[in-house]
Amino acid sequence: MKQNVFVYNTLTRTKEEFIPLDAPYIGMYVCGPTVYSDAHLGNARTYISFDLIFRYLTHLGYKVRYVRNITDAGHLEGDSDEGEDKISKKAKLSQLEPMEIVQMYATGFHEVMRQFNVLPPSIEPTATGHIIEQIELVKIMLDRGFAYEVDGSVYFDVEKYNSTQDYGVLSGRHLEDLLNNTRSLGGQDEKRGKLDFALWIKAKPEHLMKWPSPWSLGFPGWHLECSAMSHKYLGEQFDIHGGGLDLIPTHHTNEVAQNMACYGKNPAKYWVHTNMLTVNGQKMSKSLGNSFLPHELFSGDNNILNKGYSPMTVRFFMLQAHYRSTLDFSNDAMEASEKGFKRLMNAYTLLDGLKSSAETEIEIQPLLTRCYEALNDDFNSPVLIAELFEASRIINSVHDSKMKINEANLVELKNLMNTFVNGILGLQNEQAGTDELPQLMEFIVDLRSQAKSNRDYATSDRIRDGLQQIGFQLKDSKEGTTWSKI
């Protein structure tokens, strides 16, 4: 079934129909983590959001090449051209090799992604693995007059570029405005213009990670790696470029400028940006000191948390907000999500044991259409989840013999839940052994009926009360006995 997907494009500031450049192929590039510290929950939100997009487009039959890089060099403190490389600094502090730092945090990042059931990208390239490609881009920009060299460092000439292209096309903030609102930082006197940014930086003697180049022994500027790697694996123009919206004003703006300067094309047709996870209304960030780590949330081991929550509860919490809305973290919100997630999973568990009838009082097709409509509308996961709660109500009613469903609709209902809950939202049932629960309960209910028909009421009551104690309720009616979780 063909679906018309609409996506909000930061470039045009409108929701646009998503038309791939070369269907059925889709190229998607998402800026990956800088591996100098543990990925916090805010970072995880961004990658869970793109995981949903990746899963949905794949479900629709597209062949998605998803590139998500690892930044292992060139990202300086303060996200500018000043200060130390974040990874080198950490290496010095820990008395380790920079590559030990990279290995340690990349491994940790992958573990967090696995816990959240985020699928691995198709390619996960590193900045240090693409130094040659980055040097090639600098050469092109120098040749085309968009860059200049000063004492072994190379800078991008923003004002020169802006005379041919709009530098602020992505952020909506135009050059004059930016020039008026940017103060010159000390130590930037090499630059001709205060918005110019580094493409290649000559390394100071104490700098740890450096490579030979035509200009100096040095290292690439942070923004360059994404231009080089997206071009290498996805070409001059691809479908989706993503990241958190904090990357728009500098990192992505500069990436667009580099690609335009090299190839005359904006690298992506659709720029997709996720909003921030906040804590008490403030962006969760390591530098603000309000960040906490996924494993702290799982264990509850952080003084702002009342208790721990499972990885799937956290994933569900994230998906209950649209990716373009802010999401504020609180204990109350987590508790509400925990309840909601359990409700959804209880229904999911009942699905296998549902029995069909000859007639049906419910048609699943309209619900299925609404699930697709939700995702087609800019991947609206909260609306999808509301529809899945509707599906859960149907499951519970059929289970309690309050609603009849025929075989064809039951099959559709099962497919719908498997596809959307498991395949697209990536939610997994965490309760061990729950797959066999319906059969197990049916077995126990049978034993009790047998006891009753043998007039062994002591045993039948014992079974009912015992189940009640561990959280299952049995209901007897003319049609037989049904069970539910309390």
Contacts with Zn ion, residue ranges (CB under 5 A): 31, 226
Contact (Cβ atoms closer than 8 angstroms) between residue 271 and residue 239: no
Choose among ligand AMP, Zn ion, none what residue 121 binds, the Cβ cut-off being 5 to 8 Å by kind. none
CA pair distance 427, 118, nearest whole angstrom: 10
**226 a known binding residue?**
yes
Enter the tokens of residue 128. Answer: 């240090």
Choose among ligand AMP, Zn ion, none what residue 409 binds, the Cβ cut-off being 5 to 8 Å by kind. none
Strands 238-244 and 277-279: unpaired
Least Å distance, CB 42 to ligand AMP, is 2
CA pair distance 368, 215, nearest whole angstrom: 59
Choose among Zn ion, ligand AMP, none what residue 46 binds, the Cβ cut-off being 5 to 8 Å by kind. ligand AMP
At position 382, the amino acid (one-letter code) is P
Choose among ligand AMP, Zn ion, none what residue 226 binds, the Cβ cut-off being 5 to 8 Å by kind. Zn ion
Least Å distance, CB 245 to ligand AMP, is 7
CA pair distance 292, 266, nearest whole angstrom: 36
Choose among Zn ion, ligand AMP, none what residue 34 binds, the Cβ cut-off being 5 to 8 Å by kind. ligand AMP
Work out the burial of residue 237: count CB atoms within 10 Å of its CB; fewer than 13 is exposed, 13-18 middle, 19 or more buried.
middle
Least Å distance, CB 226 to Zn ion, is 3
Report the residue number, 161 or 323, with the smaller CB distance to ligand AMP: 323
Least Å distance, CB 345 to Zn ion, is 36
Helices (H) and strands (E) in the chain, counts: 16, 15
**262 a known binding residue?**
no
For 334, the enclosing helix (H) or strand (E) is helix 331-350
Give the closest residue to 24 by CA, choosing from 58, 50, 55, 1. Answer: 58
Residues 6+ positions from 192 with CB-CB distance below 8 Å: 148, 155, 157, 159
* DSSP state string for 355-409: --BSS-S--SHHHHHHHHHHHHBT--HHHHHHHHHHHHHHHHHHHTTSS--BHHH
Report the residue number, 79 or 387, with the smaller CB distance to Zn ion: 79
CA pair distance 262, 144, nearest whole angstrom: 8
Contact (Cβ atoms closer than 8 angstroms) between residue 338 and residue 309: yes
Summarize as ranges the residues that interact with ligand AMP (CB under 6 A). 31, 33-34, 42-43, 45-46, 243-244, 246-247, 274, 276-277, 283-285
- Helical residues (DSSP H) of 8-82, grouped into ranges: 41-59
Contact (Cβ atoms closer than 8 angstroms) between residue 418 and residue 395: no
Report the residue number, 68 or 399, with the smaller CB distance to Zn ion: 68
Least Å distance, CB 278 to ligand AMP, is 7
Least Å distance, CB 251 to Zn ion, is 5
At position 118, the amino acid (one-letter code) is V
Report the residue number, 284 or 384, with the smaller CB distance to ligand AMP: 284
Least Å distance, CB 275 to ligand AMP, is 7
Helix 222-234 crosses helix 131-143 at what angle (to 10 degrees)? Answer: 100
Enter the tokens of residue 440. Answer: 């197990």
Report the residue number, 274 or 346, with the smaller CB distance to ligand AMP: 274
Q: Where are the beta strands (DSSP E) in 58-186?
A: 63-68, 147-150, 153-156
Contact (Cβ atoms closer than 8 angstroms) between residue 54 and residue 66: yes
**16 a known binding residue?**
no
Report the residue number, 329 or 483, with the smaller CB distance to ligand AMP: 329
Residue 14 sits at φ, ψ, to 5 deg, of -140, 165
Report the residue number, 289 or 471, with the smaller CB distance to ligand AMP: 289
Least Å distance, CB 27 to ligand AMP, is 18
Least Å distance, CB 253 to ligand AMP, is 14
**251 a known binding residue?**
yes
Report the residue number, 71 or 313, with the smaller CB distance to Zn ion: 71
Choose among ligand AMP, Zn ion, none what residue 276 binds, the Cβ cut-off being 5 to 8 Å by kind. ligand AMP
Residue nearest to ligand AMP (CB): 244
Three-class DSSP category at 484: strand
Least Å distance, CB 379 to Zn ion, is 21
Report the residue number, 224 or 394, with the smaller CB distance to Zn ion: 224
Strands 147-150 and 282-283: unpaired
**273 a known binding residue?**
no
Question: Cis peptide leading into 24, omega within 30 of 0?
Answer: yes
Report the residue number, 39 or 158, with the smaller CB distance to ligand AMP: 39
End-to-end CA distance of the chain: 39
Binding-site positions read 31, 226, 251, 255, 286
Binding-site positions for Zn(2+) read 31, 226, 251, 255
Binding-site positions for ATP read 286
